[in-house]
Copies of this chain bind each other. A is one copy, B any other.
Amino acid sequence: MNGVTFGNLAQRKRQLVRDELAEAALKLLAFRGFEETTIDEITAAAGVSRRTFFRYYKSKEDVIIEFLGHVGEEMQAALAARPASETPTQALRQTLTVFTDACVAYPEKSVRLTRLILTTPSLTARYLERQLEWKNKLAAQLQKRLGGKNNLRPVVLIGMAFAALDAALDTWSASDGKQDLAELLDEAFAIAFSAD
> For A126, what are the chain B residues with a Cβ–Cβ distance below 8 Å?
125
Which of A24-32, A105-113, A166-174 forms part of the interface with chain B? A166-174
A156 touching B188, Cβ below 8 Å: yes
Q: By the criterion of a CB under 8 Å from any partner CB, how many residues of chain A are at the interface?
A: 35
A144 within 8 A of B: no
Task: From B129, B164, B167, give the contact of A128 (CB < 8 A).
Answer: B129
A86 within 8 A of B: no
A77 vs chain B, min Cβ distance (A) = 23
Q: Which of A129, A168, A187 has the most CB of B within 10 A?
A: A129
Q: Which of A126, A128, A166, A194 has the most CB of B within 10 A?
A: A128
Could you give, for residues 182-194 of chain A, a 1 whenever the CB lies within 8 Å of some chain B CB and a 0 otherwise? 0010011001111
A97 within 8 A of B: no
> For A34, what are the chain B residues with a Cβ–Cβ distance below 8 Å?
none
What are 18 contact pairs spanning A and B, CB under 8 A? A87-B196, A88-B196, A125-B126, A128-B128, A128-B129, A128-B132, A151-B171, A152-B184, A155-B163, A155-B167, A156-B167, A156-B188, A159-B163, A159-B164, A159-B167, A160-B160, A162-B163, A194-B196
